[in-house]
Amino acid sequence: MDEETDGIRQNRLPERSIDTADRRLLGVLVEDATVSYAELGEKAGLSAPAAHERVKRMRRSGAIRQTVAMADPRSVGKPLLAFVHVDTRGWGKTPELMAVSSFPEVEEIHTVAGDACILLKVRTEDTRALEGLLARIYDTPGVTSTRSYVVLSTYLERPVQPGITQDWPAPKLGTNPIY
């Protein structure tokens, strides 16, 4: 029982305590969310309803943000991956710049500390489409420059790992690109 007894229990909506059993469940679901609750419980040392109950709770609390299918980039016509560093005049977090999230090519938007203000992860069909996307980013007010890092090969790309609780199957250390 790794209970966190800090006494005061106010009406905090998200109960974010993740115990060892939850971590085991997450460890399975992060690799394959198509398993049945029976199998999931078996792998985590729980009965099916118990596993289900905990998973439901983690979904409610936000510990599991969502369960999604990961599409193959090439199959959907976006084989070109790039990271774009965006420099802006002033503080870059403007609504106009955040509006780039409406481009389906943009998968991630972060503000970063370093020599760049904003970092984008973008996926396009080819270099021409990337050029077009960059042109639209340049059109955004406040943007002064961009630097693009075009990905040649991707060797690892996986969701958030819930941390090591016990033995962990070594990830297939890719000496060959997965894309």
Tell me if 92 contacts DNA by CB under 7 A.
no
Tell me if 33 contacts DNA by CB under 7 A.
no
Q: What are phi and psi of 139, to 5 degrees?
A: -65, -20
Lay out the site mask for DNA across 1-20 (x = CB under 7 A, - = otherwise). x-------------------
Tell me if 64 contacts DNA by CB under 7 A.
no
Q: Which of 170, 162, 169, 158 is nearest to 22 (CA)?
A: 162
Provide, rounded to whole angstroms, the least separation between the CB of residue 105 and a copy of itself: 8
Tell me if 78 contacts DNA by CB under 7 A.
no
Binding-residue total with a copy of itself (CB under 8 A): 89
Counting Cα atoms < 13 Å in the Cβ hemisphere of 76 gives 10
Tell me if 29 contacts DNA by CB under 7 A.
no
* Sign of the torsion formed by the C-alpha atoms of 49, 51, 56 and 60: positive
Q: Which two tokens stand for residue 162?
A: 């819930």
Residue with tokens 């029976």: 38
Residue ranges that bind DNA, judged by CB under 7 A? 1, 21, 36-39, 41, 46-50, 52-54, 56
